[in-house]
Amino acid sequence: MWYTKEPNKFFQQNIFLIQVEPMTILPDLSDLVIEQVSITNDVTVTVRAASPTASCPCCGTISKRVQSRYTRTLRDLPASGRPVELIVCVRRFFCQQSACVRKIFAERFPSLTLPRVKFTLRLQETLREMGFALGGEAGARLGKHLSIPGSPETILRLVKQPQLPAACSPRVVGIDDWSWKRRLRYGTLICDLESSKPIDVLPDRSGETVSTWFEKHPTVEIVSRDRSSEYAAAIRKGAPQALQVADLWHIGKNVADSISTLLARCRAEIRHGLHGQATPEQEETEPVPEERRRPPRSRSVELAREGRRAQKLDRYTQVVELHHQGLKAAEIASRIGIGERTVHRWLRNGSFPEARRRRRRPSLIDPYERYVLSRWQEGSRLGSQLYKELTAQGYKGSPKAMYNDLVTLRIPQSDAPKSIPLKPRRRKSVPSPPAPLENFSAQRATWLVVCHPEKLDQMSREELMLIRQASPSAETAYGLAQAFMQMIREHTGQQLDTWISSVEASRLPELESFAKGIQQDKAAVVAGLTLPWSNGPTEGHVNRLKLIKRSMYGRAKLPLLRARVLACWSRRSLLVQPSLLDSDVPHVARRAGASRSSRCGNRKSKCGRSKLPTTNRSKQEDEDVV
């Protein structure tokens, strides 16, 4: 880089004194006159104002009395890969309004740059766009490659610059949470569903934060959300006028999960029912003493666990049967549809492999573990009471988080169910031929049950028919699942009451648990099954937020993350607040150590980074360098 008041001295061989119309090189600078263009490794353009007068930024009085001159260096977008610098000749004028507080002012170039900035407006805009798309470090790396100057700090400062709030009076919004750190800290994203654009990112998902947001946005009429009871309560509090709509995808997933649990529980029934055999008695495990059990899980969690265990137990029984018939592990694995190593491990262990407790992740309840267990042993089993006691001791989680965390608390190993002993191996001469549904998997069968029948191919239809014929529970569940999916497809939520009555008559605990959950959130579910709104756009923007968050290695704080997530919200209309850049903003003391010798206009810092507008400059400085 170079700096001199006499550029000719250094670049005598390469100076082109040419008459160029301003429109050809700098199209937006009609109020400037180009005096000189120097082309070396860089392009240097010397410009001055075309007008002989300037108006005072304080009182607006036109003045033509020049007090002094200085030059100011600005960086611009590159030309054909060469960095471009503008040398701007700036005049200081006397203000001719005697009552004005500003005695001397420097002329301004609103079409070129802002006061106290070392970049042109279009370079700033480009750097900001790079920051929105890539973040600071990656944006600066790309800028270096494209000869666009700008440090990571500069780019981030531009991205975080205060911007005019977009006119935001949403009518239909979607709300969803996202994790800062999974299981520990969550934020909230709010999306305008009519324009499919994100409109706000909240620092947490607490009821207070969410209800406050809704109180500030009274225009909201419809809110689409997942099945979260905390959001439901917060929306009721903050926007009592709004209609809550449960998201269809979540409702569909809930019903599919219930069906999957039911099919897993009925695996043995389905497998044996085909051959007209009675379902063998499940081998009993020693019951766990009630008082030594862990705090209770929710009904649906317990049912899902029981379903998974029943499916695994049936598979284990099947492995043992086939092993007794003399089949090798590879053949057993292929017939049942599990891994060969699993078969080897089960046979080697010689007993039913109960699920082992997973490695615990840290949770908010960890510091209170001893207290909770002692209260449990004392017989205090009331969750709401326990929550009150824990919050009094400083517990920060929600009641729901506390219930979830309770499940993770350790219990003595002796409480774990006993395993089933393997019977001695008896080899039969002829193994039984492979039976249909021998490799039945609840997860795969769930898709057959909930899918539209017309979308199934011939083989899937036959498999589904076998499942329905084998188990009365599966047959009943199929009818109920299809009726529910029809409500989802055709938006006929008014039939929900009839469907719930059918579930109650079916005596299927998994679907009864699902229906009970729906009853607690019935208005929102009926709205979800009736209205066309979906929370899909919000889910999509949550994915986008995760990508942006991870592109900054999860280190961005909320202001930066929020700025980048909301950047797509009609970015062109987001302008830098003029009030924050204008001299009318109250300034605080001048930065310590700033030398008056920098009046020449070139105030490049030692590191070469330019300072963008901040509010902590003095008025005096404003007079000096504009």
Nearer Cβ to Zn ion (98/413): 98
Nearer Cβ to Zn ion (53/494): 53
Nearer Cβ to Zn ion (59/485): 59
Nearer Cβ to Zn ion (61/618): 61
Residues 73 and 85: beta-carbon distance below 8 Å: yes
Residues 478 and 466: beta-carbon distance below 8 Å: no
Nearer Cβ to Zn ion (142/585): 585
Residue 42 has a CB neighbour count (10 Å cut-off) of 17
Written as one letter, the residue type at 117 is: V
Residue 293 has a CB neighbour count (10 Å cut-off) of 12
Written as one letter, the residue type at 216 is: K
- Smallest gap, in angstroms, from Cβ of residue 108 to Zn ion? 13
- Smallest gap, in angstroms, from Cβ of residue 105 to Zn ion? 7
Report the alpha-carbon distance of residue 501 to residue 301 in Å, rounded.
23
Integer CA distances (angstroms), 529 to 294, 433, 532, 550, 576, in order: 37, 46, 8, 35, 43
Nearer Cβ to Zn ion (96/494): 96
Terminal Cα-to-Cα distance of the chain (whole angstroms): 22
What dihedral do alpha carbons 549, 554, 558, 563 form, nearest 10°? -30
Report the alpha-carbon distance of residue 307 to residue 510 in Å, rounded.
9
Report the alpha-carbon distance of residue 562 to residue 556 in Å, rounded.
9
- Smallest gap, in angstroms, from Cβ of residue 56 to Zn ion? 3
Nearer Cβ to Zn ion (54/563): 54
- Strand runs (DSSP E) across 287-380, as ranges? none
Residues 407 and 295: beta-carbon distance below 8 Å: yes
- Smallest gap, in angstroms, from Cβ of residue 582 to Zn ion? 14
Q: Who's near 308: CB < 8 A, 6+ residues apart?
A: 261, 264, 355
Proportion of the chain in helix, strand, coil states, percent, rounded to 5: 45, 15, 40
Nearer Cβ to Zn ion (59/435): 59
- Smallest gap, in angstroms, from Cβ of residue 97 to Zn ion? 5
Report the alpha-carbon distance of residue 178 to residue 543 in Å, rounded.
9
How far does Cα 459 stand from its chain's mean position? 40
Nearer Cβ to Zn ion (100/485): 100
Residue whose C-alpha is closest to residue 123's, from 97, 155, 152, 95:
155
Nearer Cβ to Zn ion (49/448): 49
- Smallest gap, in angstroms, from Cβ of residue 68 to Zn ion? 17
Residue 163 per-residue DSSP state: B
Nearer Cβ to Zn ion (102/225): 102
- Smallest gap, in angstroms, from Cβ of residue 624 to Zn ion? 16
Beta strand 222-225 with 172-181 is parallel
What dihedral do alpha carbons 495, 498, 502, 505 form, nearest 10°? 160
Q: Which helix (H) or strand (E) holds 535?
A: none
Residues 233 and 210: beta-carbon distance below 8 Å: no
Q: Which helix (H) or strand (E) holds 16?
A: strand 15-16
- Smallest gap, in angstroms, from Cβ of residue 103 to Zn ion? 8
Interface with Zn ion by CB under 5 A: which residues?
56, 58-59, 95, 97, 100, 102
Nearer Cβ to Zn ion (369/623): 623
- Smallest gap, in angstroms, from Cβ of residue 235 to Zn ion? 53
Nearer Cβ to Zn ion (104/166): 104
Nearer Cβ to Zn ion (102/265): 102
- Smallest gap, in angstroms, from Cβ of residue 101 to Zn ion? 7
- Smallest gap, in angstroms, from Cβ of residue 104 to Zn ion? 9
- Smallest gap, in angstroms, from Cβ of residue 159 to Zn ion? 34
- Smallest gap, in angstroms, from Cβ of residue 93 to Zn ion? 9
- Smallest gap, in angstroms, from Cβ of residue 102 to Zn ion? 5
Torsion-angle region of 183 (φ positive above 0: left; ψ -120 to 50: alpha; else: beta): left
Tally the C-alpha atoms within 13 A of residue 538's C-alpha that lie toward its C-beta.
27
Report the alpha-carbon distance of residue 355 to residue 366 in Å, rounded.
23
Q: Which two tokens stand for residue 489?
A: 């497809």
Report the alpha-carbon distance of residue 553 to residue 304 in Å, rounded.
35
